Amino acid sequence: MVKQKIEKCFLVVFFLLFGYTASSQVVPPTEDTQTEDLLQSVLESTDTEVDFTDMFDQLEIYKRRPLNINKVTLDELSFMVVLSGKQIQSLIYYRAKNGPFISIWELQAIPDWDINTIYAVLPYLTLKDSLFQKYKAKDFLTQGRHDIIMRSRSYIEPQAGYADSLKTLGKTRYMGDSFNQFIRYRYRLGSKVSFGITAEKDAGEEFFKGSNKNGFDFYSGHLMITNIGPIKKLIIGDFMMQCGQGLSMWNGFAIGKTPYIFSMKRLGTGLRQYTSVNEALFQRGAAITLGINKKLDFTVFASKNKIDARVDTVTGIIDSASFFQEEQLNTFYESGYHRTATEIRNKNTTTRQVFGGRLLYKDKTLRLGLNGSYTQLNVGVVKGNKTYDVYDFTGKSLASFSTDYEYSFKNMLLYGEIAANGLGKVAAVNGAIITLDSKLAVIVHNRYIPADYFSFFMNPVTESSGRNEKGTLLGFILTPHKTLSVTTYMDRFTFGKLKFGVDAPSSGYDLFSEARYNPNKTQQFYLRFRQRLKQENTSNPDAIVDYLDNTLRHNFRLNGSYRTSPNVRMQSRVEWSRYKKGEGTAENGYVMFQDINFKIPKKRIDLSFRYATFETKSNDTRIYAYETDVLYMFSIPAYYGRGTRFYSVIHFKPMKKVDVWLRYAQTTWYDRKVVSSGLDLINGNSRSDFRIQARIQL
């Protein structure tokens, strides 16, 4: 025991010395940069726009009032996306084993924590207790913080769907204007109380008229109170549940398969407030988490909301004299768009009620969860008549159960979830992260999700749509030198049943390799290679039967980001892609871009620019690239066709408590005379996008 203590003292002294030397010699990267880099990688395989307001908000709160590292919980740490699930576990495990941290630099002693990670989370952690631990009634007015964010955006060029001629002809059209409007108010008192209202209207939706007489198309709100006696968390309004590995219940955003392979292990933190604008994947009602004792938490929730779906009334014959009428739910719509008459007709057609709970046991090395939920719709779901629809869910209600676990043992972290639904169908996710050495860590992640398994709120890590998949990912991160790391994974998967566009059982693999070189704090380079094989119906026109062809995709990327001065940050990239299907000819594509970001601290102005050229043979060789957006927004558009793209973002502070962002982006194509199709068609070869955002913090 004494020896241990002495060892620990030495350790602390060492890190104190080392830590301070390190901090005095180099300029650490700002934590935002690192978080952005990570999100960039995490998101960069989808064509999406994601709103991370909530996460960054939470981080801002922590920054103002850092968390005590000796008391910080898994839940709080999970907001720091730069930390992998494994790193969070390591900290908790290390603290349990070695006792309280004596210095913040002792973080370096935790296995899996490198100096970059520590710099990234340093602003949010402290050794002291926060000054405002206890709040009085009057603090609600004086100590709380109010945030208001307003955002508006639109394409500049007119799109076909807004033409007046469609109205006179009575054809399908967008009923509203082309602006996307967003407003959010948030009140917070530390992490004690949170209250928020979010309102949004998508482009093309009506505003204060027609189908939206109340103004916005979507409203969301919540009131959350934490830590009052045995009540750990109480939420009234919109919330989400995130359990286990996402097999039975996972609302909201989830990280899938990414270059950060250890993030595949999810950290189901249970109950959370919902402030985002996805109109389908959240719960509306009330939820409470009770701390039964130090090791046991119990969450129970009830939710009822209206969701979008196509519901048809069908007439059936019982006998020659009597008929019956029945409503059938054909398709769920999760896009949240209510722009055309059809979309408006499908809005809120179905009532969904959900009841559920979670019992969580946690100690120093083990987390064990028991989850259950029951979902009831007022209309029965029917399945389609395609062969691949055979295993789809039908009916009005479904129960779902699962048990999830995480267990740290020496240098191993075992995790997983086993789920069963009320129909007796079982699915499982199991994995292990093993730190073989400080230079090598390995992950094995297996999923078994049969085609007939279903849960309304499933969202596990998968290659394809979530069901009908079995696969194993094997990956490792090798760090032979502190400036160099190599991440490689091989994921193989089989789809046992038919899928859309795949008329037979099929299989494939995904091979990824990336070498990252950080010669110093201001420069970072990486070389990335990816090869993916999947099977699809042949496009051979002479084929009598649709046999499967292998489709092989390659991506090859070289990226460099570097600071030329403390206020100037540059990023350059070249990416090549290749696509080949069966015996067809291979198609190629490339994207090349240069980013410049510079700050003028005196004038409180921040400027970002990108210029990109791209040429891809077809949509199959399209290339995704992350783009800087107004704060908290992340857009990852696909570059396709032949053309150029640029954008600029300006951020300035006209007043102390007000931030304003302006963004203008334009793509010009040289291989086409019209852009997009259908209602989104633009007559011309360019598309421009303008957005403005303001934030007021009181």
Partner 1 sequence: MVNLKFKQKKQTVIWLVTFGLLFFGSHINLKASNDLFARGARAWGMGNVSVSNADAFSYANNPAGLAELKNITFGGYADNRFSIPGLGMQSAVLSIPVKIGGIGIGFQNMGFSTFTEQRFGIAYGRWFGKLAFGMKLNYLRMSNNETASQINADLGILAKLNTKWTLGFHVYNPVKKSFGQDDRIRENTITRLGLSYIISDKVLFCTEAEKEFEQNVNVRAGVEYKPVEHFFIRAGMGNGTTAQSFGLGYRSNQLQIDVSSTWHQQLGITPRISIIAWLNKK
Under the binding rule (CB under 8 A), the answer on residue 436 touching partner 1 is: yes
The residue (of 36 and 575) whose beta carbon lies closer to partner 1 is 575
- Helix, strand and coil content of the chain, in percent to the nearest 5, comes to 15, 50, 30
Phi-psi region at 313: left, alpha or beta (left = phi > 0; alpha = psi -120 to 50): beta
* Cα dihedral 72, 77, 78, 84 sign: negative
Query: Among the candidate windows 72-80, 288-296, 529-537, 672-680, which touches partner 1 by CB under 8 A?
Result: 529-537
CB of 264 to partner 1, least distance (A): 16
Reduced to 3 states, what is the DSSP secondary structure of residue 312? Answer: strand
The residue (of 474 and 692) whose beta carbon lies closer to partner 1 is 474
Closest CA to 612 of 650, 638, 588, 630: 638
Under the binding rule (CB under 8 A), the answer on residue 482 touching partner 1 is: no
- Here the tokens at position 127 are 């050794």
Binding residues for partner 1, total number by CB under 8 A: 33
* SS3 of 352-391: EEEEEEEEEEECCCEEEEEEEEEEEEEEEECCCCCHHHCC
β-strand partners of 565: 568
Within positions 537 to 596, which residues make up the interface with partner 1, using CB under 8 A? 552, 554, 556, 580
Reduced to 3 states, what is the DSSP secondary structure of residue 468? Answer: coil
Under the binding rule (CB under 8 A), the answer on residue 531 touching partner 1 is: yes
The residue (of 314 and 436) whose beta carbon lies closer to partner 1 is 436
Query: Among the candidate windows 14-22, 54-62, 484-492, 593-601, which touches partner 1 by CB under 8 A?
Result: 484-492
CB of 473 to partner 1, least distance (A): 9
Under the binding rule (CB under 8 A), the answer on residue 507 touching partner 1 is: yes
| CB 469, CB 463: distance < 8 Å | yes
CB of 511 to partner 1, least distance (A): 5
| CB 35, CB 119: distance < 8 Å | no
CB of 412 to partner 1, least distance (A): 8
DSSP state of 161: G
The residue (of 109 and 515) whose beta carbon lies closer to partner 1 is 515
| CB 536, CB 503: distance < 8 Å | no
CB of 26 to partner 1, least distance (A): 20
The residue (of 163 and 533) whose beta carbon lies closer to partner 1 is 533
Query: Among the candidate windows 59-67, 81-89, 255-263, 528-536, which touches partner 1 by CB under 8 A?
Result: 528-536
* Mode of pairing for the β-strands spanning 125-126 and 67-68: parallel
Q: How far is Cα 542 from Cα 554, in angstroms, rounded to an integer?
A: 27
| CB 180, CB 206: distance < 8 Å | no
Under the binding rule (CB under 8 A), the answer on residue 478 touching partner 1 is: yes
Under the binding rule (CB under 8 A), the answer on residue 414 touching partner 1 is: no
Among 109, 163, 504, 533, binds partner 1 (CB under 8 A): 533
The residue (of 319 and 583) whose beta carbon lies closer to partner 1 is 583
Q: How far is Cα 86 from Cα 294, in angstroms, rounded to an integer?
A: 23
Q: Give the DSSP letter string of 621-665.
A: G-EE--B--STTEEEEPEE-SEEEEEEEEEEEEEETTEEEEEEEE
Under the binding rule (CB under 8 A), the answer on residue 218 touching partner 1 is: no
CB of 492 to partner 1, least distance (A): 5
The residue (of 196 and 471) whose beta carbon lies closer to partner 1 is 471
CB of 686 to partner 1, least distance (A): 34
Question: How many residues belong to the chain?
Answer: 698
Given the rule CB under 8 A, which residues bind partner 1? 434, 436-437, 439-440, 442, 444, 472, 474, 476, 478, 480-481, 484, 486, 488-490, 492, 507-509, 511, 513, 515, 527, 529, 531, 533, 552, 554, 556, 580
